[in-house]
Amino acid sequence: METRLARYNKENKIIRAVEKFSTKRLIIITVHVLFASLIVLADDLSYAAKISLFAFLSAMTLWVGTKIPAGYVAVSLILIIIFLKAGEPELLYHSFGEEVIWLMLGAFIIGEAIKDSGLADRISETLLNRTKNKHVMIRSLTYVLCISAFFIPSTSGRAALSLPIVRRLNSYFSEKEREVLQVSAPVIILMSTSATIIAAGSHLIGVGFLETSTGKSISFVQWLIWGVPFALTISLLSLFVIKMMLWPKKAPNIISHQSEKRTSMSQLYQQKRKQPMNNTEKRTAGLVILLIISWMTEPVHGYDIAFLTMFGAVLFMMPVYGVISWKQGIGAVSWNLILFVASATALGRVLVDTGVVAWMETEMIGVLQLFAGAPEWILVLLVLIVTVTSHLYITSHTTRAIVFIPALILFGQTIGADPVAIVFISLIGMNYCITFPVSSKALLLFYEEEDFTYDAKTLLKISLVLMPLYIFVMMVYYFTYWQWTGLSF
């Protein structure tokens, strides 16, 4: 016969089990059931496409809604796709042959070399000694990152070079303040991409489609006229929004001796900054300059940025003449992040391979055609909504341009719009990609970096504000400055 104590313990176990099944878990399960129901009703999608789309949406939900490691989620869902016969095992194996993987490997090694040589400390100390005001310091870093868009034609390259500087500046900020620094750096890198035609490969691809389809083009100077004011405006607004949302209210604005945490090592860095550059720093600076020049001249020599980055990484680790050892370089790589990026990239690629992206493109362009006779402001808004949100389901910047630009040129020709305006506005819209870490290589370089504090939820919260702001600023620019300078549908 069951005793009262035994019944009490059994009831307690049931209560604890129910409590563990939290509201949050119930919401996540409900979202998954809703996704599955909607996808099953999509008759135009094949079995493989439905499984792939569900896996992708599941990954996005779990990345934002749970604390499960992002890499574990991505790898697990790739394995599920293969297990359910919606993909071949090569989907997993070939993911490590992606350009972005080798680009990130090289970026981690180069960042370690810049840090180990003392060059990052020299640059950060220069920023620190120009001002003791934290806000001015972050704003100065913003200007530096914006200027870098004119010289480094890769968001990943700019992120790689800024990472050791941000890591060095971390010691002068509190934990909450560091979150602002760590989020704002990659966001500003992405927002400033619109400044110049060479700042992203997608720009060149889009202009190439424009030339092939219509015979028209956008010159380097014309892009500068249209892009620089917008890039600077949206970069400063983004910094303002991030600080407004994340900056602790009672944090002191001035760096004090206590907040600086200046140890004897920090004092050594200050003394070192006043001294001439040593041979290691000169060698590092020289290799970085050569790397930047090689990035800028990619159209001339034909070697892609990932290859050049790995080539530079090998030079940095070269015996005797290098800056760091092979062991140091390999040890600096965040393999957790590499696994995550490889799997997340595969998740994005399988959407293209199974026809999900083509299906989405057809559905969206079909909807756009319904508004062919609509007022100009509605047409502009529709193009912006499609392009700005495209990063949510196509994670590769280049792929977004390849998929959408030809269709949008065709749409522009259908409604009698200037294809130059369509392509430029579409490419600027596609430059927005900060909702999830997987949306951009620059975000991924900072995501899960050791001692960095921001997570996927932080990006999502910021994006809920920045995305409509980005569209609004583009609308304002279109109906004012861009039209005054000759850009119009």
Q: Which pLDDT tens digit goes with each residue over 452-469? A: 666 777 888 888 999 999
| DSSP string computed for 114-140 | HHHHTHHHHHHHHHHHH-SBHHHHHHH
pLDDT at 155: 75
CA 479 – CA 489 distance, rounded (Å): 10
Q: Tell me: pLDDT of 270 over 70.
A: no
Cα(120)–Cα(123) distance, integer angstroms: 5
The pLDDT value given to residue 445:
73
Average pLDDT along the chain: 77
Q: What pLDDT score was predicted for residue 268?
A: 45
Residue 27, CA distances (Å) to 51, 62, 66 in order = 21, 11, 11
pLDDT at 256: 52
Angle at 348 between CA 26 and CA 433, to 5 degrees: 85
- pLDDT at residue 319 in the model: 86
Helix (H) or strand (E) holding 34: helix 23-40
Measure Cα distances from 225 to 232, 237, 238, 296 in Å: 12, 19, 21, 20
How high is the pLDDT of residue 324? 87
Q: What's the pLDDT score for residue 88?
A: 87
Q: Tell me the angle at which helices 397-415 and 356-369 cross, rounded to the nearest 10 degrees.
A: 30
Q: Indicate the domain borders of the chain.
A: 27-93, 97-194+222-338, 351-484
Q: Per-residue confidence at 107, pLDDT binned at 50, 70, 90?
A: confident
The token duo for 384 is 């912006």
Q: What average pLDDT score do residues 315-332 get?
A: 86
Residue 13 above 60 pLDDT? no
Going by C-alpha positions, the residue among 52, 66, 54 that lies closest to residue 24 is 66
DSSP annotation of 418 reads -
Q: How confident is the model at residue 152 (pLDDT cuts 50, 70, 90)?
A: low
Average pLDDT score over residue span 59-88: 83
Instruction: Evaluate if residue 42 carries a pLDDT over 80.
Output: no
**Which tops the pLDDT comparison, 21 or 429?**
429
Mean pLDDT across the stretch 405-419? 78
Question: For residue 125, what pLDDT is reported?
Answer: 66
At a CB cut-off of 8 Å and minimum separation 6, what does 300 contact?
Answer: none
